Amino acid sequence: MWLASSTGRPAPRSSALAAQHVLATCPVPRYHIPMSQYLWIALGGSLGALARHALGTSIQSLSLSAASAGGAGFPFHTLLINTSGCFAIGLLLAVFRNSPYLPTISQFAGVGFLGAFTTFSTFSFEALSLYKRSEIGAASLYITLTLAFCLVAVALGQLLGTWIAASRSI
């Protein structure tokens, strides 16, 4: 059975044919994203993940977040990684805000590297783990410090980046 469509052509009744009909008749904008953008994001993401692993492992080996008798310890490594990533994004976007390379830098460094380097999911998991172990004070401190440090880091990164950008244009 056929249904009337907005284009005047009959629309098929089956869901598979209806989906094909909608795709063929709807004025959906087609966006072309060059493969180079995906490559910049992938390269940045792989480097960011490796950097996160290396820094996290190094911090843990320094016993800042080593296991304690009662649990996994305070997650200093994630706090430091997220704070430094927030500083870096503020700095990069301020330094390169007027650069013709900003789109590429944003893809490589912002979406790719810093997207893989920082992690909200790990932060959330660690905060919940502290809470579940009845370490309410540590969980509250971790959440407060993460939010405060990351907001301040972005602001400081932007300030430094603005200063660097201004000094380069003189």
Per residue in 116-155, pLDDT (tens digit) is 999 787 788 889 989 999 999 999 999 999 999 999 999 9
Q: What is the pLDDT of residue 163?
A: 93
DSSP 112: I
Q: How far apart are CA 116 and CA 123, in angstroms?
A: 13
pLDDT of residue 102: 86
Same domain, 107 and 52: yes
| pLDDT value, residue 168 | 80
Overall domain count for the chain: 2
* Containing structural domain, residue 155: 35-168
Sequence letter at residue 25: T
Instruction: Work out the widest C-alpha separation in the chain, in whole angstroms.
Output: 72
**39 plus 2 within the same structural domain:** no
Q: Facing residues of 58 across strands?
A: none
State which residues of the chain have pLDDT below 50.
1-5, 28, 65, 68-70
Q: Which pLDDT value is given to residue 151?
A: 94
Residues 22 and 47 in one domain: no
Contact in structure between 156 and 86 (CB atoms under 8 Å): no
**77 and 141 belong to one structural domain:** yes
Which pLDDT does position 130 carry in this prediction?
A: 93
The pLDDT of residue 160 is: 95
- At residue 170, the pLDDT reads 52
- Contact present, 127 and 143 (Cβ < 8 Å): yes
23 and 79 both lie in a single domain:
no
What pLDDT score was predicted for residue 87?
A: 93
